[in-house]
Chain A
Amino acid sequence: MTNSIEELENSDVILLTGSNTREMHPVISSFIKRGVVSGKTKLIIADPRRIDLVDFADIWLRQKPGSDVAWLNGLMHVIIKEGLYAKKYVEERTEDFDALKKAVSTYTPERVEEISGIPAADLIAAARLYAGAPAAAIAYAMGITQHINGTDAVKSVANLSMLCGNIGIESGGVNPLRGQNNVQGACDMGALPNVLTAYQSVTVPEVREKFAKYWGVKSLPEKPGLTIVETIDAAAKGQIKSLFIVGENPMISDPDLHHVEEGLRKLDFLVVQDIFLTETAKLADVVLPAACFAEKEGTFSNTERRVQRVRKAVEPPGEAKADWEIISEIASRMGYKMKYANAEAIFDEMAKITPSYAGMSYARLENGGLQWPCPTADHAGTKYLHKEKFVRGKGKFHAIEWIPPAEPTDSKYPLVLITGRVLSQYHTGTMTRRSEGLNGLAPECFVEINPIDAQKLGVANGEFVKISSRRGSISAKAVVGETTDVGMVFIPFHYFEAAANNLTIAALDPQAKIPEYKVCAVKVEKVA
């Protein structure tokens, strides 16, 4: 997030898209709802599903899955055409406005209606509302990013925010709501194939030299590595021979599970380090028992860049050890001396070579944590980014064209499948399905289907149906209702016994390599 969670309560307008906030980030949704009921905030929601928060929205745009770039361009088309954009801000703080203007010029409300199904009048109303706000925030999640043009959608969101002067101000900004406790931190720490800590690129020789020297090795590899989905592909082709997995469960979380299993089985050596024997761990050659968050010291970085302490409350079960202890021991056994007295020593080592964390220490994180960038020991942390100028200097507009999803529906697979989560389950269910209360609230997989489609198929609420794509099929209970639109179904992906990722397509965004989880073509059949 460019801004902080608490700022959302004071935004004049929030444009929320691709986020079922009330289920995925319930605490953030409370900030949004409080703003709305206090009368301060006007809420615009763009989501193909009629999520709960629509009850609180002033305008709800129901776009067709995969049309995000089109309606975002449409909003900007209206805002520029009606002269509602922040002219002074655009002039002083941004560049390439003309390219944007040209790109969005063809996205008239009428054309956008054709692509997205959003009525032209609603689009115009949303554009006026957003552009008219002194401080408007955009919050989004994977509903707009898990597409083959996910990066384009994010750039479009940034375009819109800059166009109206909303980046670098309180209660504005571009705010991705991150789904996992430390997904922000894992990225910050360089658990990515192309960057080291704080996004220092592996392709820059000075960066590699600096880290090599700091880590006491001759050199570091310069070729960016493979992402998760690429790694699975390479394993299936025999190019990756050894895979070490820490606390991940690709056998449920990754697209096209048959392909994932094929890749993992082809490996010469698979190590899984986890807290439970996950579906992935069952395929491993060695399984290492790890301590969970309550059994170790450390830090997590949240979605608003806040680094906070994780503290040990109980001893790990049996012989389980903290992940950092296990990694250090293996490194030492492989001839690289890696010995730390505690997690704090690792943090201190990391902070010294990570500019955005350089001013942090465990002592400083004691009271409420710190938001990066926090470059020096006397820096108070950063509530919102790009305050007087953008980190890169001028904010760059990107001219973006909409492209259709990878797998269109056809007569054989006539429905669009969107996958996602439910409130009381979490990702691959490793933890929540073992929690009595949580699992009790949503114990089994289901498929949401519109009453009109259900009637056509002769399916009643609560009946089991078979859902198939070109890649596989699962069966699940039908939940007939208006949450999904005609021609569309929704399935949560948490359930190993009916894993939605048997159906999904491993079509990737060429830049971010994110799979298109929010659109693939399926058919639904009544189970006799």
Chain B
Amino acid sequence: MDDKLTLTINGISVRGKKGQTVLEVCRENGIKVPTLCFHPKMPPYGGCRLCIVEIQNMRGLPPSCTTPATDGMNISTHTDRLFRVRRTVLELLLAYGNHNCLMCEKNGECELQNLVYEHGIDSVRFKTTFAPKPVDDSSSMIVRDPNKCVLCGRCVRGCLSVQVNGVIDIAARGSDSFITTFNGGLLNDSNCAFCGECVASCPTGALTPKQSHFKGRPWELKKVQTTCTYCGVGCQLELNVKDNEVVKVTTDPDLGGPNKGSLCVKGRFGNDFINHPDRLKVPLVKKNGSLQESTWDEALKIVADKMGSIKKKSGPDSLAFFSSARTTNEENYLVSKFARAVIGTNNVDHCARL
């Protein structure tokens, strides 16, 4: 059976596949429809009403993220009417929160900020009785600021559908809605695993990594993709660097690798050891029973001389090497080569069994 569809979007004939939503067909054909609650890793939600489109012979303005594409559909994505409705939606979101970009960690990489700018909004027409809500900074890793929340539900779906932890949910109805933990307690008292999927999913400054606050703004950070140093999953992540310091970890489903943009608490929030003051900075040599700072030249000379003399006196098999499951392939190869070719022993192992 042919599962190909032909649709018209903004007057142009495009192809789609059966089972796709209108939004997916638009994206695949390079048509950018504004979204806020949509996330490619999560089931569609239809909550933010920004991805609305006009479809011939359909009533109202259906959200493209939840509308299945069908053959022959005639869709408009950027009419004046749609622009006005989206603008109003954005103004309402601004009115029901405290969105002060100057004092927001997300400034510069905020999806709400971008959409507001793209829609030419320079003032909000609505007056509200928005009452500030308390910020939850109980955990040492995640700050939850409900005043910046747009109720897109991406954090909830990230927690439930992607990580399958289900720690948070949307409570109450309408404009009273809010994101809550079970029984409404603090995040630190919940059964949160601190994987940070919610932080990575949040389009605004409502969920931010605490340790990164004031450490660098998005345009100052250099992102370097690498492989996580903890367990054997090999998650791909981006180290965000400012002034030779790793200040944040970010992810992107497009980085490839096994994790598809997800991490656990260690990968996302456990890299502050890199810059810890306890890091060893110079070689140490034992003198008079205690380790004292030394130079590379002295330390390496001692190592080479001592290993050389032990090999000469007691034979190569009196030396042994523990390589490391933490270091790179290149380094493990070299330790093996060193033990076997330079010293002449097979006494080389690492902690695979421990």
Contacts and interface: CB of A to CB of B under 8 A. Distances in A.
B18 interface: no
A181 B270 contact: no
A185 to B, nearest CB: 4
Contacts of B291: 277, 282, 284, 287
A290 B327 CA distance: 10
Contacts of A215: 337, 340-341
Contact of B226 (A145, A180, A311): A311
A288 B299 contact: yes
A436 B210 CA distance: 11
Nearest to B284: A287
B236 A181 contact: no
Nearest to B224: A313
B256 A368 contact: yes
B325 A180 contact: yes
A433 to B, nearest CB: 9
B270 A330 contact: no
B186 interface: no
A268 B229 contact: no
B280 A287 contact: yes
B112 interface: no
A524 B353 CA distance: 27
B272 to A, nearest CB: 5
Given A215-B341, A293-B226, A334-B342, A24 B231 contact: yes
A318 B282 contact: yes
Contacts of B326: 180-182, 247-248, 293
Contacts of A368: 236, 256-257
B194 interface: yes
Contact of A441 (B232, B265, B300): B265
A438 B330 contact: no
B349 interface: yes
Contact of B331 (A4, A192, A298): A298
B256 A367 contact: yes
Contacts of A30: 162-164, 262
Interface string A15-42: 0000000101111101001101100000
A248 B258 contact: no
B334 A346 contact: yes
Contacts of B225: 309, 311
A324 B280 contact: no
A1 to B, nearest CB: 9
Contact of B329 (A220, A248, A253, A301): A301
Nearest to A432: B270
Interface in A297-321: 298-304, 306-315, 317-321
Contacts of B314: 241
A190 interface: yes
A192 B348 contact: yes
A515 B327 CA distance: 23
A309 B328 CA distance: 9
B328 A440 contact: no
Contacts of B321: 243-246
Contacts of B193: 22, 26, 423
A315 B244 contact: yes
B354 A228 contact: yes
Contact of B333 (A25, A190, A312, A512): A190
Contacts of A289: 279-283
A55 to B, nearest CB: 10
A308 B234 contact: yes
A211 interface: yes
B296 interface: yes
B323 to A, nearest CB: 4
B284 to A, nearest CB: 4
B82 interface: no
A328 B334 contact: yes
Interface in B133-151: 139-141
Contact of A268 (B141, B245, B310): B310
Interface residues of B, number: 109
B1 interface: no
Interface stretch (B57-65, B123-131, B301-309): B301-309
Interface in A503-528: 512-515, 517
B187 interface: no
B265 A424 contact: yes
Contacts of B299: 286, 288
Interface in A78-133: none
Given A243-B322, A333-B304, A185 B273 contact: no
A483 interface: no
A474 interface: no
Interface in B198-234: 210-211, 222, 224-234
A336 B232 contact: no
B259 A331 contact: no
Contact of A286 (B258, B273, B284): B284
A221 B340 contact: yes
Contact of B330 (A228, A324, A514): A324
A300 B286 contact: no
B324 A186 contact: yes
A309 B234 CA distance: 10
Interface in B228-270: 228-236, 239, 241, 244-246, 256-260, 262-266, 269-270
A438 B265 contact: yes
Interface in B156-190: 161-164
B224 to A, nearest CB: 4
A172 interface: no
A457 B139 CA distance: 35
Contacts of A247: 324, 326-327
Interface in A470-516: 512-515
B125 to A, nearest CB: 42
A426 interface: yes
A432 B353 contact: no
A511 to B, nearest CB: 11
A5 interface: yes
Contacts of A343: 328, 330
Contacts of B74: none
B234 A181 contact: yes
A187 interface: yes
Nearest to A253: B354
B271 interface: yes
Interface stretch (A62-70, A152-160, A194-202): A194-202
A323 to B, nearest CB: 4
Given A308-B234, A514-B353, A250 B346 contact: no
Given A228-B351, A432-B266, A196 B340 contact: yes
Interface string A188-223: 111111101100001000000001100111001101
Nearest to A326: B300
Nearest to A280: B322
A234 to B, nearest CB: 8
Nearest to A225: B346
Interface string A322-347: 11101111110110101000010011
Contacts of B275: 317
Given A231-B320, A244-B322, A269-B307, A221 B346 contact: yes
Pairs of residues from A and B, 9 with the lowest C-beta to C-beta distance, nearest first = A318-B281, A302-B234, A298-B328, A368-B256, A225-B346, A247-B324, A178-B232, A289-B280, A33-B164
Given A288-B299, A290-B280, A319-B282, 13 more contacts: A191-B349, A221-B317, A221-B344, A226-B347, A246-B321, A250-B322, A276-B279, A294-B239, A299-B328, A327-B334, A331-B342, A438-B266, A512-B353
